[in-house]
Amino acid sequence: MTGICTGRVAVVTGAGRGLGRAHALALAAEGAAVVVNDLGVAADGAGASGGPAQQVVEEIRAHGGQAVAHTGDITTDDGARSLVTTALDAFGRLDALVNNAGFLRDRMLVNLAEDDWDAVMRVHLKGHFLPLKHAAAHWRTEAKAGRTPDARVVNTSSGAGLLGSVGQGNYSAAKAGILGLTLVAAAELGRYGVQVNALAPAARTRMTEQTFADTMAAPTDGVFDAMAPENVSPLVVWLASADSAGVTGRVFEAEAGRITVMEGWRPGPTADKGARRTPSEAGETARHLLTKAEPARPVYGA
């Protein structure tokens, strides 16, 4: 298989199912050798199974591609470190990391158990940080040895992280945290030849097919299957390839046939008194500025 990722080695976390599976297959179809990571957990993060990762490896090989499975937990230091060494041992290099693994524990905030907060923050936010850290340490070593890489990281956020989502306080906070992490990583790692971007996808997977059954439904024959996860993967493949040179610290939404560059927090109306205000004056100023500001975008589910 040859394409825009020929000769490159990519790691995809949570690639045994859903979007990660589609990304792994698409990367392999464009010539990348792929490390397919998946812990094989249930939709709420419970249990573990090597089956999903192995199955995707077999699919890639059946299409003539190169892949190996990694069934470790990317929220542990051992799991994240061995993910990187698996790529180096199997294929001799690492060019792209796609952070994608995750699960949901949705509850309204007043009912959100501490465990459900911790588990979701851990899998998404720590599950992005640790693979990023170990991949970046490898790339820094390469750069210092005079072999500056042309490396890429693609992180997975969500509309919930961009705008908030009712019933997903834990998930929205973790996915917003991934956006901050992406900006810092892009700024810190550019000097080592690493570009870091984030994606907010939407697609039909076990994460969405019940909650958003109508939006996600597969069409009847012959119509564009807008919510197929495979529609998100082409942007991921391009961001993972050398073709995306110069693109870093950016956030994209990708869903169906649409790609959107998200434009984040930036200063709006402002007023400087040059001195401390009383609380009443601060309120008066804030209300005045709000009349001139863009209205806030609605939170999902509000």
Ligand X SMILES: NC(=O)c1ccc[n+]([C@@H]2O[C@H](COP(=O)([O-])OP(=O)(O)OC[C@H]3O[C@@H](n4cnc5c(N)ncnc54)[C@H](O)[C@@H]3O)[C@@H](O)[C@H]2O)c1
Let me know if 171 is a catalytic residue: yes
Residue of 54, 100, 172, 248 interacting with ligand X (CB under 6 A): 100
Of all residues in this chain, which one has the CB nearest to ligand X in the complex?
18
Strand partners, 105: none
CA distance 88 to 76: 19
Torsion over CA: 55, 60, 63, 64 (sign): negative
User: Which of 258, 265, 12 lies closest to 161, judged by CA?
Assistant: 265
- Give the strand pairing for 9-12 and 258-261: unpaired
Q: What DSSP line would sit under 49-111, residue for residue? A: -SHHHHHHHHHHHHTT--EEEE---TTSHHHHHHHHHHHHHHHS---EEE--------B-GGG
Q: Which two tokens stand for residue 31?
A: 């010539």
Residue of 54, 82, 155, 156 interacting with ligand X (CB under 6 A): 156
Stretch that binds ligand X, among 37-45, 112-120, 185-193, 240-248 (CB under 6 A): 37-45
Nearest distance from C-beta of residue 97 to ligand X, angstroms: 13
State which of positions 115-134 bind ligand X (CB under 6 A): 123, 127
250 interacts with ligand X by CB under 6 A: no
Catalytic residue among 126, 157, 171, 233: 171
By the 8 A CB rule, do 197 and 252 touch?
yes
Q: Which is nearer to ligand X, 133 or 140 (CB)?
A: 133
Please list, residue by residue across 153-187, b when 16 or more beta carbons sit within 10 angstroms of its beta carbon and e when fewer do.
bbbbbbbbbbbbbebbbbbbbbbbbbbebbbebbe
Length of the chain: 302
177 interacts with ligand X by CB under 6 A: no
Let me know if 292 is a catalytic residue: no
State which of positions 38-57 bind ligand X (CB under 6 A): 38-41, 43, 45, 52
Residues that contact ligand X, how many (by CB under 6 A): 33
Residue of 9, 13, 134, 172 interacting with ligand X (CB under 6 A): 13
244 interacts with ligand X by CB under 6 A: no
Let me know if 126 is a catalytic residue: no
Q: Which is nearer to ligand X, 128 or 138 (CB)?
A: 128
Catalytic residue among 82, 157, 158, 244: 158
| Site residues, ligand X (CB under 6 A) | 13-14, 16-20, 37-41, 43, 45, 52, 73-75, 100-103, 123, 127, 156, 158, 201-203, 205-208
Catalytically active residues are 158, 171, 175
